[in-house]
């Protein structure tokens, strides 16, 4: 059955692919857009990504405004949504805490309250670091009673973007439980381009890493041979978000969208370098040393690397058995992550060539 959906962040990278997947499957979608003038272009993009742009509508709103900036007509338009997908976020390094909190924490709470008030399921995009409890404890998050966490310390340790994502997660969980409302959380790993076309947006962290490798700015491999940057391809993630949202068994669940076959960072850089026709770094540089080096004024800009991005490179391995079972139940096939990486690198090279 086709179900009405409301999507925040639908103009973003994951959002575009999610909306393509939803509309391809016949679900009408209303987007929350800061600039509704973007709707016609988005319809075209969703068509190009294999969806049906005709099933797209939009309301004007802003996650950073009280009540999401929705007027009464817009509230009415989204009232029928069976699922509210919350993907919208200020996603960047170097944000101020106030800016990140206003959109990523207060905005997420406002979306949660909207979903609860109209009995829609909320599908929240978290992040894979939320599945690494050891890491959360090290940051000072009280997992037994998250409300006792000193968030200012967490923001200082991890940066405003990731701090706000962690705070939003625990606050939305608590709010939805108080309101007795239905929530499913999907925690994506770092998102790789489309497994066949390689489509990715240039502001994505992986596109930045590939750009640095192509430009010869990556002189060493961050971390040890055990370090990796867990990935998920955007097309698989979009399908997973869609099936999780309509699966009754996933109400109240947290799902890790991470491809456990992602190679370690060394292997990943070698594969990418081969596709790009450049040489891959072979020496390792310990993360604490790199973090220290990045304190040197001007170096982050020179190396086009922000210290906040290093937190996603780690040694922890994750249990993805529940995700495998969910994918199997819905007959979702995991694309080959090595091929997805190659397609992403080729896509970025072609984009660069067409810009030049
Ligand atoms: N990409 C990853 O590697 C990754 C990994 C883990 C988790 N995630 C999470 O997945 C979600 C989507 O990520 P993404 O990569 O698709 O991000 P993205 O490409 O940066 O897109 C962000 C989206 O949020 C919207 N947005 C930002 N500020 C807004 C505001 N004040 N009001 C309304 N909308 C606003 C943007 O709209 P405009 O078009 O108006 O700017 C855009 O649609 C985020 O929650 C992110 O934290 C991403």
Gap from CA of 8 to ligand 1 centroid (Å): 8
Residue 150 is predicted with a pLDDT of 97
Residue 352 is predicted with a pLDDT of 84
Strand pairing category for 231-233 and 29-33: unpaired
pLDDT digits (tens, 9 = 90+) for 242-270: 999 999 999 999 999 999 999 999 999 99
Report the C-alpha gap between 97 and 196 in whole angstroms: 37
Residue 40 is predicted with a pLDDT of 98
Q: Where are the alpha helices (DSSP H) in the chain?
A: 13-24, 39-48, 72-78, 97-100, 107-117, 133-139, 151-158, 160-178, 205-214, 234-246, 265-276, 287-293, 299-303, 321-329, 337-355
Share of the chain above pLDDT 90, in %: 85
Distances, alpha carbon 137 to alpha carbons 130, 166, 180, in Å:
11, 12, 27
Q: Of 135, 121, 132, 350, give the one whose Cα is nearest residue 258.
A: 132
What's the predicted TM-score (pTM) here?
0.96
Count of C-beta atoms within a 10 Å radius of residue 338: 16
- Cβ < 6 A, ligand 1 pocket: 8-9, 11-15, 32, 34, 62-64, 87-91, 103, 125, 127, 165, 188, 190-191, 201, 204-205
At residue 302 the predicted structure's pLDDT band, cuts being 50, 70 and 90, is: low
- Its CATH class, for the domain covering 5-190+231-257, is alpha beta
Q: Output b/e per residue, 202-221; b: 16+ Cβ within 10 A.
A: eebbbbbbbbebbeeebeeb
Chain region(s) in the chain for CATH 3.40.50.720: 5-190+231-257
Report which ligand 1 atom has the smallest distance to the Cα of 188: 6
Q: Which residues lie across from 184 on neighbouring strands?
A: 123
Residue 145 is predicted with a pLDDT of 96
Pocket test for ligand 1, best of 7, 10, 14 (most atoms within 8 A of CB): 14
Pocket test for ligand 1, best of 20, 89, 168 (most atoms within 8 A of CB): 89
Residue 217 clears pLDDT 90, i.e. is over it:
no
At residue 235 the predicted structure's pLDDT band, cuts being 50, 70 and 90, is: very high
Mean pLDDT to the nearest integer, 185-200: 98
Report which ligand 1 atom has the smallest distance to the Cα of 63: 32
Gap from CA of 223 to ligand 1 centroid (Å): 27
Share of the chain above pLDDT 70, in %: 99
Gap from CA of 104 to ligand 1 centroid (Å): 10
Report the C-alpha gap between 274 and 214 in whole angstroms: 10
């Amino acid at each position: 059955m086709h179900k009405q959906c409301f999507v925040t962040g639908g103009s973003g990278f994951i959002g575009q692919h999610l909306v393509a997947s939803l509309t391809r499957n016949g679900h009408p979608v209303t987007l929350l857009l800061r600039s509704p003038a973007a709707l016609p272009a988005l319809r075209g993009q969703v068509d190009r990504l294999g969806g049906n742009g005709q099933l797209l509508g939009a309301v004007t709103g802003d996650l950073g405004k009280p009540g999401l900036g929705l007027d009464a007509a817009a509230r009415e338009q989204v009232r029928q949504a069976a699922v509210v997908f919350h993907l919208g976020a200020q996603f960047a390094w170097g944000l101020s805490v106030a800016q990140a909190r206003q959109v990523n924490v207060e905005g997420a709470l406002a979306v949660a309250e909207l979903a609860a008030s109209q009995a829609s399921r909320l599908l929240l995009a978290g992040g894979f670091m939320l599945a690494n409890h050891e890491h959360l404890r090290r940051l000072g998050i009280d997992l037994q009673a998250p409300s006792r966490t000193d968030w200012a310390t967490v923001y200082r340790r991890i940066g405003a973007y990731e701090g706000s994502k962690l705070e939003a997660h625990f606050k939305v969980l608590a709010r939805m439980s108080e309101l007795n409302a239905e929530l499913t959380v999907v925690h994506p790993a770092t998102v790789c381009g489309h497994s066949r076309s390689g489509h990715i947006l240039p502001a994505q962290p992986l596109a930045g890493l590939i750009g640095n490798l192509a430009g010869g700015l990556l002189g060493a491999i961050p971390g040890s041979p055990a370090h990796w940057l867990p990935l998920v391809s955007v097309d698989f993630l979009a399908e997973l978000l869609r099936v999780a949202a309509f699966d009754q068994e996933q109400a109240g669940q947290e799902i890790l969208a991470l491809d456990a076959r992602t190679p370690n960072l060394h292997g990943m850089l070698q594969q990418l370098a081969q596709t790009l026709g450049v040489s891959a770094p072979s020496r390792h540089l310990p993360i604490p040393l790199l973090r220290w080096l990045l304190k040197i004024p001007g170096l982050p800009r020179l190396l086009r690397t922000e210290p906040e991005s290093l937190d996603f490179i780690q040694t922890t391995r994750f249990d993805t058995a529940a995700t495998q079972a969910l994918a199997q139940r819905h007959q979702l096939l995991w694309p080959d992550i090595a091929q997805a990486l190659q397609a992403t690198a080729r896509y970025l090279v072609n984009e660069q060539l067409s810009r030049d």
